[in-house]
Structures are given as C-alpha cells and as structure tokens.
C-alpha cells in the first residue's frame, strides 16, 4: 500500500504504474473517496472537540436547571455525532478498499510489455545438453524409474495430484538438505519451518488479497493455505517495531505450499510442473527504508538462487519481468528459468522481488532510526528452491540413452547414489 499523501502528490506516477502493470484502477475514484474522507474526518474531529468542551462545562455547571439543559443539548449533539461517525465509517471502508488496489511504482529498469513473453533476458548460464538420442520428458523418465506415480496421485488427491515415491522422495530430501546447507552458508539467515495455514491479515498485508483470492484455498474457519512461506514470514513481524540494529532481518523459510491454479486451467496439466501442493524454500529480507539497500539485497538474494542452480549444473537464464508480469506490490522482479530439453525451452523455477514499503505499510512493520523517527521497513523475497518442479530440469538434463539419470555431484552425499537407474530404485 502506498501512502495517500504520496498518491495525491504523484498522480501521474501512480497512473503510469497502473498502465505499465496493465492493472485497471480508477485513480479519480480513490481521490474522490479521499476528499470525502478528509472532509468528514475534519467534521468528526471538530464535533469531538466540541463534545469534550461541553462535557467539561457540564461537569463545572452549578445550576441544576442549566446543567439539565446542557445535558439535553449534548444528547441531541451526540446523536448527530454518531450519525457523522457512521458516515465516516462507511467512507473509510470504501477508501480502504480502493487503497488496497493502488499498484506500487515499478523501477525505471522494468521493461514495458504485455505478458511474460516480453520479459527481458539479462543472463544465460550453462551449456544445453546435446543428446545423441531424442530426450524423454520428465514424466516418461520418472515413471520408468519408479520415481512418481501420477495415476494414483489423481485417484487420491484429484486433478494435478501426484505421489513421489522411492528414489523420487529420497531425491527431494537430498535437494532440501543441500538447499539448507547452501543458503545457510550465505550467512545471517535464520532457518524457519513456517505455517502454511495463515490468517487473512497476513495475505492482505503481503498483497495476495484481495486480488489473488481465486488462487487460494480457504478453510471453513476463514484462514487460507499459503502458496509461499513469504506470507507467514512477513506476518511474523506484523504490528511490531524492529530495533534498527537488528536490520536487516534475513529469514529462510520452508513449508508445504498450496495453489488452486485457478487461472491455469488446461495449462501444464501433465507431470509435476504445475501442481496444487508442493514444497518451497523462501528467502525473506527486511531492511532499512533505503532504495539502494533494497537493490543490493535483491541482487544478493537472486544470486543465491543462481548459485544453487549452478551447483546442480542445470542450464538457466535470468530475466527481468516486464510491467505486465509484475504483481500489484512489486517494484522489480527477476525470474530464473531452467532449461527443459523435452520442451526445448526455459521454464520458471524462481522469482525474486522487492517491494519498498508496500507490504510493511499494510502489515505495520516499522523500525526507529537513530533520531527516534519511525519508518516502515523495506521488504524483499525470493524463491530459494521449489520441489518437485526443480526435479523436471534436473532429471531431463542429466538423462542417459538407457533411461538412467546422472545425479549431480553436490547431491551424492545426501542421496547416496551417483546414478538413478531401474536397478538402483
């Protein structure tokens, strides 16, 4: 959420942000609601001051007749104040709803574009494997090696359901162990097993509500299942003042994640690329309210994930997301995409974003500077690694003609094997 004073002083910037992000937002409607809010709030504050003055006068009145007249007059006045306060409450409800729709301002480096097809490639790493045979898809390879069971997954869990079994499960465990080692060695991260079942306030604060509600699973008690531990980790400091000397806060969260994929019907319906339930490591950083600091932490987090992928030896590219591929609150975002041989294209595995104070203003996460002044912190997040999706590129890029799969060296200490084959499962 942006500050209303900033919005009023920078209507051109806000309008251009909505255009660049391809978000339909009526700025004039918000400004009209804010005019109403300010006018009625002024009336209410003036009437409350008059009420306080009258209350003091009644307390000091000595003549009982005068006192009774003043009380009756105050009774009528209180009814008028109550009506005005109810009017303010209604206007505030409309104003808050509109404020939650205001897009954050994209960085100047964010390219214009209509979709993810317009994202700008900024880095390519690794050599794509050259096979002397036609490469198989991850589905064929994993089913042949007994790593996944999709029919039983659908039978038990429904559409997009899956079971990882045998070495498929063990390979996931190995990836998680290596991920913790890799990211914790970057220093300063606090490892956290985060809840997936999270209250509405944290979703509103991080910007996943109200716009993204269709993609969330909701319980009968009003909580939601999160698609990333970012939601819980940002809610961790909700309504708190963090000591400045404790910044930056760097958290490495792990949790099961859930997405309805409501906007992806008919898209990636086979295999384990787009599933309803998965597991993810997430990097979350809270830092001082300084643009340069946000940029530095953003580059650092994204590089952490690039180095993880490089250690696995998987070819990838990094792109800057165009305006239309940014979320409501994101200032800038990188996507890391892994090479998938069977599809002959790169597929997204990680996103790294920074928000300035968009999320922390909603969540009321602040710190006090050296002069005692309170500021909203800046927030950032980045996928560390997501499973089972990463298995797709790992298995396809390391496949052999006989259907076996070479295991990356860095995973051998955790997996205990150098090759996946029918005989080894």
Of the candidates 271, 248, 283, the residue with the CA atom closest to the CA atom of residue 365: 248
CA 153 to mean position of chain CA atoms: 28
Active site residues per annotation: 259, 274, 348, 351, 389
Give the whole-angstrom CA distance, residue 252 versus residue 229: 9
Distances (CA, A) of 369 to 284, 361, 388: 21, 16, 42
Give the whole-angstrom CA distance, residue 365 versus residue 202: 12
Distances (CA, A) of 281 to 247, 256, 304: 21, 9, 12
Strands (E) across 12-162 are located at 120-125, 148-149
Give the whole-angstrom CA distance, residue 423 versus residue 145: 9
Give the whole-angstrom CA distance, residue 319 versus residue 356: 20
Buried b (16+ CB within 10 A) or exposed e, 311-348: ebbbbbbbbbbbbbbbbbbbbbbbbbbbbbbbeeebbb
Strands (E) across 18-103 are located at none
Give the whole-angstrom CA distance, residue 400 versus residue 423: 14
Written as six digits, the tokens of 361 are 């203003």
Instruction: Please state whether beta strands 224-225 and 249-258 pair in parallel, antiparallel, or not at all (unpaired).
Output: unpaired
Buried b (16+ CB within 10 A) or exposed e, 22-51: bbebebeebbebbebbeebeebbeebeeee
């Amino acid at each position: 959420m942006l500050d209303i004073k900033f919005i009023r002083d920078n209507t051109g910037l806000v309008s251009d942000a909505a255009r660049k992000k391809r978000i339909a937002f009526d700025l004039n409607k918000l400004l009209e609601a804010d005019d109403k809010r300010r006018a009625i709030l002024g009336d209410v504050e003036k009437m409350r001051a008059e009420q306080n003055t009258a209350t003091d006068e009644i307390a000091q009145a000595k003549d009982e007749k005068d006192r009774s007249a003043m009380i009756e007059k105050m009774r009528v006045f209180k009814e008028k104040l109550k009506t005005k306060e109810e009017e303010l409450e209604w206007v505030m409800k409309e104003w808050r709803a509109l404020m939650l729709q205001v897009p954050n301002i994209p960085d100047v480096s964010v390219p214009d574009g209509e979709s993810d097809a317009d994202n700008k490639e900024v880095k390519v790493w690794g050599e794509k494997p050259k096979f002397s045979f036609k490469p198989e898809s991850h589905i064929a390879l994993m089913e042949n090696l007994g790593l996944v069971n999709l029919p039983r997954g659908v039978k038990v869990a429904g559409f997009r359901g899956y079971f990882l079994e045998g070495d498929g499960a063990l390979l996931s465990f190995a990836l998680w162990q290596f991920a913790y080692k890799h990211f914790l060695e970057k220093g300063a991260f606090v490892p956290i097993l985060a809840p997936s079942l999270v209250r509405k306030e944290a979703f509103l604060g991080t910007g996943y509500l109200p716009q993204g509600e269709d993609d969330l699973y909701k319980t009968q008690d009003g909580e939601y299942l999160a698609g990333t531990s970012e939601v819980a980790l940002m809610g961790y400091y909700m309504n708190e003042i963090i000591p400045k000397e404790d910044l930056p806060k760097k958290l490495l969260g792990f949790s099961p994640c859930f997405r309805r994929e409501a906007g992806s019907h008919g898209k990636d319906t086979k295999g384990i690329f787009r599933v309803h339930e998965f597991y993810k490591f997430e990097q979350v950083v809270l830092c001082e309210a300084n643009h340069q600091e946000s940029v530095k932490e953003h580059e650092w987090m994204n590089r952490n994930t690039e180095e993880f992928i490089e250690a696995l030896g998987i070819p990838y590219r990094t792109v800057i997301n165009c305006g239309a591929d940014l979320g409501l609150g994101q200032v800038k975002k990188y996507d890391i995409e892994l090479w998938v041989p069977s599809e002959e294209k790169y597929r997204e595995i990680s996103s790294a974003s920074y928000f300035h104070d968009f999320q922390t203003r909603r969540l009321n996460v602040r710190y006090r500077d050296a002069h005692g002044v309170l500021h909203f912190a800046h927030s950032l997040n980045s996928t560390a690694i997501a499973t089972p999706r990463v298995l797709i590129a790992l298995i396809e890029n390391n496949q052999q003609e006989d259907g076996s799969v070479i295991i990356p060296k860095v995973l051998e200490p955790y997996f205990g094997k150098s090759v996946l084959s029918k005989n080894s499962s």
